[in-house]
Structure 1
Amino acid sequence: MDSNLQDGDKAKGAVAVDAFPGLGKTTAVLAFAREFHRREIAEFGAFTAQGHERWPVCRVGLTGNTGMKDLNRAMLEFFGHPGRQNSTAAQLGLQALDCVVSCEVRLLVLDDLHFLKWRKTSGIEVSNHLKWIANEFPVTLLKVGVGLVDKGLFSEGEAGGDTVVAQTGRRTTRLDMPPFTIDTDQGRRHWRQLLLAVEQRIVLADTHPGMLADELSDYLFARSTGHIGSLMTLVNRGCQRAQRTGTERLTRDLLDRVRNDEAAEQARRELEHALQAGRATSRPRTARAAG
């Protein structure tokens, strides 16, 4: 973000967060955007020198049939612009640029970018439009999606395809978000730190330190296969059941009665056998030694 502070005629780099579903891409990006928004407001104030409201971040969610005009209109919807309904695609783009400049937006988040069909006509049009935004808008593009490499965002598409899309790959830095693993002690420490952090957010009458990280570490890893989305789904539903039944704590018996998402349920058996047989563990050496 800070390295993209340069003149408007310079090509600015973009970032793409590309990972499988359920790994917390959007959650992480929105957390970053929130902190960046707060930092900018704290440093520069809630209003610009011209008296406009300062909006350091603009977030747009794409749909399955987003075109160039739809993208421009979605940006104007964010700002509540009155001309978003009755303008041409070019007019919408210029109006969006005016809003971005007036509100001093510095970060433009495009979520669910995988919905675009990059090798289709609309996908090429939007790709060209994103490069225009990168050139003309004083913002850093932060793109979020699933399988963006396979979708063709960073490549030229099929053999002999368009070099238009390939230029996007030259301007975009790809960041991935792998699932938690327990193959190494470092991975096991990361998993434990996650469980300790989740414990602090649980509000149950009989909760206690180590309820997740010590007593349920292997079980939760098997049930979630290291995906934070599956883990939080299981914990949230478990807390609801614990409240309704009066248990007021999370236990294996209680969580056994909670169904998780289908992908996690299908992948849990092999992990459970390995953990129960002692061929694998989710607890780091220091935790095992303390136990």
Structure 2
Amino acid sequence: MTPPPAPTAPQRKAQKQQKRPPRKPGSGTLASAVFEGDDRQYSPTRLEGLSQIVFAPDRIQPVRLTRAQMAELSKPELARYNDGRHVWHANIGPLRTPQLLELHEDLWEIVGSNRHDGDKAKPAALLDAYPGIGKSTAVLDFARDYYRSEIELRGETTANGDRRVPLLYIALTGNTQIRGLNAALCRFYDLPATGDADTLAARAVDAVLSMRTAVFVIDDIHFLAGAGSSTTRMVNQLKFLSNTFPVTLLYVGVGVREHGILQDGISAQFGRRTTPLTLRPFQVEDEAGRREFRRVLLTIEKQLVLADTYPGMLADDLADYFWARSSGHFASLMALINRGCYRAIRTGHERLDAALMDQVKNDAAAEEARLELEASVQAGLLTAKPARKTTSKATASSKSGPRARKTARKKAS
């Protein structure tokens, strides 16, 4: 009888693997351990999602390790450390910029003074500003502060024992109609979104009254802008919300006033009830603007967890670069820095510089404006760096005059 052929090398390897006992869970490999990281996935358009924004603990900045300290970590430990840094860099902020503080002061004034009884319509507010400068982030930051303050003042439950929900947040889409708007209100409260527009509205009214909701934040209101009967119907619906719900309405949008939603025809009454606000962008046309932009970069700089970061890495060495790449729009700036940090960690570069950042892509609008801004910077027509304070020769000589030298001799003796 002919003996069977000898197994090939791949067959011998497979046979050995079959004979090995199965690896026990948690036996030391990165894949076997359960590691979720610090990602927080939620939608603020749902009550439970907004609650995470309001009540979740603040993230703790990872410790900045040196290259030598990272070299001592095991492969799984290093992977988890880097994962924590990625999450941290993606969620820096909100930064308490002068623009954000000014907006919050206006919002507190409007919301805090709207203590009208239920039979009176409360004045609304419209935050209308350029895209990409952090409108939604700023409003959600205010929402968190307001929500917390109301719970601290009045308690987590109402007098009837219902859950207290001081504020609601929804975002419109290009296809939002009257029924869809009412359904979004119901979905926020986790109520059934079935029925016609009137049924949904009545359901939402009951929730608002029982949970004592005092503020509605309606984001992306610019989807209402434009001509046509649908816009008129939507403006009427917003008036209905103002008349029906005993709440302050805070609208957030882009270019809303330019489309005439506050002035044209039937919208005029809506405009009379609405206070326009804005969130001014950064600018470097004067020293005040350049100093403000520098302070923002210094604040961000302190938040970066890179082994080779150093004071002035952003504010001194990359100020003009980041201005040209972001056009001063906060969302573009933060996306660029976040992606730069990711690349710096992944490649082991561990710092941000122009050579690394040139490999990082940014949003289309920022990239389109980049060439013109870079040309202006290179030609000396534009800079994001404030002028350094210099000491005049007269002042310097007075400081080193006889009296100063005499004082120095006394200290030395």
**Residue number in structure 2 paired with 1:240:** 342
What's the counterpart of residue 37 of structure 1? 147
Q: How high is the TM-score relative to the length of structure 2? A: 0.65
1:59-103 Cα deviation digits (max 9, x unpaired):
111111211111111000000013x22x22112111111111111
Secondary structure at the aligned position of 1:289 is classed as coil
Using the TM superposition, give the Cα deviation of residue 125 of structure 1 relative to its aligned residue in structure 2, in angstroms.
1.7
Partner of 1:160: none
**SS of the counterpart of 1:284?**
coil
1:289 counterpart = 2:289? no
Question: Alpha-carbon deviation of 1:121?
Answer: 2.0
Residues 9-28 of structure 1, C-alpha deviations (whole Å, 9 max, x = no match): 22311111112211111111
Question: Which residue of the other structure, out of 198, 203, 218, is the alignment partner of 2:300?
Answer: 198
- The within-5 A match list for 1:76-91 is 76-82=186-192, 84-85=193-194, 87-91=195-199
The aligned residue for residue 163 of structure 2 is 53
Unaligned runs of 5+ in 1: 157-162
Q: How much does 1:5 deviate?
A: 0.9
Amino acid at match of 1:10: K
2:380 equivalent to 1:272? no
Which is greater in Rg?
A: 2
Alpha-carbon contact 1:67-1:123 (below 8 Å) kept: no
Q: Tell me the CA shift for residue 150 of structure 1.
A: 2.6
Q: Which residue of 2 aligns with 1:65?
A: 175
Q: Tell whether the 8 Å contact from 1:154 to 1:168 is kept in structure 2 after alignment.
A: yes
1:7 aligns with 2:117: yes
Q: When the two structures are superposed, what TM-score results if normalisation uses the length of structure 1?
A: 0.92
- 1:218-229 matches, within 5 Å, as 218-229=320-331
- CA distance in structure 1 between the partners assigned to 2:157 and 2:303 by the alignment: 34
Of 254-263 and 70-79, deviating more is: 254-263
Alignment of 1:142-221 (within 5 A): 142-156=250-264, 163-221=265-323
Given that 1:76 and 1:95 are in contact with CA atoms closer than 8 Å, whether structure 2 keeps it comes out as yes
When the two structures are aligned, how many residues end up with a matched partner? 281
- 2:250 partner SS: strand
Aligned partners of 1:94 and 1:2: how far apart in 2?
26
Aligned pairs for 1:125-144 (under 5 A) are: 125-144=233-252
Instruction: Answer whether contact 2:225 2:256 (CA < 8 A) is retained.
Output: no
Contact 1:118 1:124 in 2 (8 A): no
For residue 118 of structure 1, report the CA deviation from its aligned partner.
4.7
- Three-state SS of the structure 1 residue aligned to 2:380 is coil
Whole-angstrom CA distance in 1 between matches of 2:147 and 2:302: 26
Hey, what's the Cα distance between the residues in 1 that align with 2:197 and 2:237? Answer: 11
Measure how far apart 1:273 and its partner are: 2.3
**Kindly tell me: are residues 41 and 228 of structure 1, through their superposed partners in 2, closer, same or farther at Cα, counting changes over 3 Å?**
same
Matches within 5 A, 1:99-114: 99-114=207-222
Relative contact order higher in (CA < 8 Å, ≥ 6 apart): 1
110, 115, 118: which one aligns with 2:223:
115
Aligned match of 1:254: 356
Q: Provide the C-alpha distance between the structure 1 equivalents of 2:211 and 2:304, rounded to a whole number of angstroms.
A: 38
Q: Which amino acid aligns with 1:277?
A: A
Deviation for aligned residue 1:51: 0.8
- 1:159 match: none
- Which 10-residue stretch deviates more, 269-278 or 188-197? 269-278
Alignment check: 8 A CA contact 2:121 2:246 kept: no
Does 2:365 align with 1:263? Answer: yes
Report the identity percentage.
50
- Provide runs of 4+ in structure 1 moved above 6 Å: none
Say whether residues 1:98 and 2:198 are aligned partners: no
User: How far off its partner does 1:182 sit?
Assistant: 0.5
* Shift in Å, 1:117: 4.6
Q: Structure 2: how far apart are the matches of 1:234 and 1:289?
A: 30
User: Which amino acid is the alignment partner of residue 41 of structure 1?
Assistant: I
Change (3 A) 1:95 1:118: farther
| Unpaired segments ≥5 residues, structure 2 | 1-110, 391-413
Equivalent of residue 25 in structure 1, options 135, 150, 159: 135
- What does residue 87 of structure 2 align with? none
In 2: Cα distance, 1:188 partner to 1:202 partner: 21
Equivalent residue letter for 2:389? A
Q: Distance in 1 between matches of 2:356 and 2:330?
A: 20
- 1:117 and 1:276 map into 2 onto residues whose CA distance is 40
Q: Which moved more, 1:167-176 or 1:197-206?
A: 197-206
Aligned 8 A contact 1:69 1:88 in 2:
yes
Q: Deviations over 1:237-279 (max 9, x none)?
A: 1011101110111111110111211211121222222222333
RMSD: 1.7
Give the Cα–Cα distance (whole angstroms) in 1 for the partners of residues 343 and 366 of structure 2: 19
Aligned mates of 2:225, 2:329 — CA distance in 1: 27
Q: 1:222, CA displacement in angstroms?
A: 0.8
Mean Cα displacement is larger for which, 111-120 or 179-188? 111-120
Helix, strand or coil: the match of 1:279?
A: coil
